[in-house]
Amino acid sequence: MAEQTVPLIVDVDTGIDDSLALLYLMASPEAELLGITCTAGNVTARQVATNNLAWLELCGYADVEVALGAEVPIIAPLMTTEETHGPQGIGYAELPAPTRALSSRHATQVWIDNARRRPGEITGLVTGPLTNLALAVKLEPELPRLLKRIVVMGGAFNHPGNTNPTTEWNVAVDPDAARIVFDAFSGLPEGRRPVICALDVTERIEMRPHHIAALAEACGSTPAEIIDPDDPPGRRSQASNRVVRHLSDAVRFYMEFHRLYDQGFLAHMHDPFAAAVALDPALATTRRATVDVELAGTLTRGQTVADWRGMWGREPNADIVVDTDPEEFFRRAIERVAALARRVG
Ligand code: RIB
Ligand code: CA
């Protein structure tokens, strides 16, 4: 029986792991990409848009709408992180410049128009700051009920932050947007609450050089794709396969960054894991909680707080991912992206 398609709107701040999420989705036959919306975060929104157009065109998905969204957070001043994702946000990768233009629609309109056109069917995936979704909810308060569900990469609960001691990047960039989204998506029934992929789990999914080597081998790329920790920084891939070459150049930058911060020569799969969960929620074990965002803390503004035991007397408004099988994620990712890479050549 054909797999049921999953209609998706994907909001990203492409970035290296956002790129991997896009590759995973393009490689997944069940993913029906209705639109990719761009928010500022890892790099500027316009650079995010260029990266999205380039990845989609490289992989033969140039028919998918890419729309520009918020270029600054709702209240906070914009912060970007080129030191983490590279000057263009895709590490050392140098993608062929895209040849098509951005959508004439704003990102918020892509969210609202699609959700109104297909009520109850669309999964929203957000792997960047929540600015666009917050703005869309302000324009269309019914959006939480028009969407089937949202899956969000963001937050850190019983886990250290990666931006400040208690804050995760996507929420730290725009904590006010996160508060708006968690408030707006409260009151939804079991099975439709937002699924939150926080650092607690995503930092357990560690891509290492052998994963890239396996992907390259699986799609017949030559020579063997070895990212050696002892290579000089910035060494470029010579892979015969274009997807492998650009993916390897992107991920190498991320691995060098993680090593610089004593996390090992690895790359955390934050966004592609959220994408995999959006396609198959069974990949994640979740636990319901009431989530809110600290906005006033001097040291903790942007911290996501989970009330697991109903101490606030408020209904749960999130299903937080508390466990997964990283090896199953990598099995799916390597199998799918290798097949995409083989098609692209
Ligand atoms: O904290 C990790 C998240 O922040 C990921 O989505 C990464 O791409 C950055 O946006
Ligand atoms: Ca991201």
- Structural domains in the chain, sorted by start: 6-206+264-344 (3.90.245.10)
Strand boundaries in 192-307, DSSP class E: 195-197, 206-207, 267-268, 284-293, 304-307
To the nearest whole number, what is the mean pLDDT of the chain?
97
Cβ–Cβ under 8 Å, residues 305 and 293: yes
Distance from residue 345's CA to the centre of ligand 2 (Å): 26
Distance CA 112, CA 98 (A): 26
Tell me, what's the pLDDT at 130? 98
Are 305 and 294 in contact by the 8 Å Cβ rule? The answer is yes
Instruction: Give tens-digit pLDDT for 216-264.
Output: 999 999 999 999 999 999 999 999 999 999 999 999 999 999 999 999 9
Average pLDDT estimate for 47-64 = 98
| 210 labelled catalytic | no
- Token digits of residue 224: 């063997």
> For residues 222 and 220, what is the distance between their CA atoms, to the nearest angstrom?
6
Give the list of residues 6+ apart from residue 239 with CB closer than 8 angstroms, or none.
Answer: 216, 221, 222, 223, 225, 245, 248
Q: What are phi and psi of 118, to 5 degrees?
A: -135, 65
- 263 sits in the region (left: phi over 0; alpha: psi -120 to 50; else beta) called alpha
d(CA 21, CA 302): 24
DSSP-assigned states of every residue in 92-119: T--PPPP-SPPPSS-HHHHHHHHHHHST
pLDDT reading at 187 higher than 70: yes
With a CB cutoff of 8 Å and minimum separation 6, the contacts of 280 are none
Q: For the segment 277-336, what is each residue's pLDDT rounded down to a tens digit? A: 999 999 999 999 999 999 999 999 999 999 999 999 999 999 999 999 999 999 999 999
The model's pLDDT over 63-103, given as tens digits with 9 standing for 90+, comes to: 999 999 999 999 999 999 999 999 999 999 999 999 999 99
Active-site residue, from 211, 246, 258, 270: 270
Task: Tell me, in angstroms, the distance from the centre of ligand 1 to residue 299's CA.
Answer: 20
Q: Identify which of 18, 169, 200 to mutate to test ligand 1's pocket (most ligand atoms within 8 A of the CB).
A: 169
Ligand 1 centroid from CA 128, angstroms: 6
* Residue among 22, 23, 42 whose CB has most ligand 1 atoms within 8 A, to mutate: 42
Ligand 1 center to residue 199 CA distance, Å?
Answer: 9
Q: Radius of gyration (Cα) for the chain, nearest Å?
A: 19
pLDDT greater at residue 141 or residue 2: 141
Residue pair 154/130 in contact (Cβ under 8 Å)? The answer is yes
Question: What is the model's pLDDT at position 101?
Answer: 96
Residue 89 CA, distance from chain mean position: 13
Q: How much is the pLDDT for 2?
A: 57
Query: Which ligand is nearest to the Cα of residue 41, counting in written order?
Result: 1
Q: Is the pLDDT of residue 1 over 60?
A: no
In tens, the pLDDT along 92-147 reads 999 999 999 999 999 999 999 999 999 999 999 999 999 999 999 999 999 999 99
Please name the residue whose Cα sits nearest to atom 10 of ligand 1: 128
Residue 301, φ and ψ in degrees, nearest 5: -60, 125
> How many CB atoms are located within 10 Å of the residue 127 CB?
31
Determine the residue type at 274: A
Q: Tokens 């960039």 correspond to what residue?
A: 173
Residue ranges around ligand 1 (CB below 6 Å): 13, 15, 17-18, 41-42, 127-128, 153, 162, 168-170, 270-271
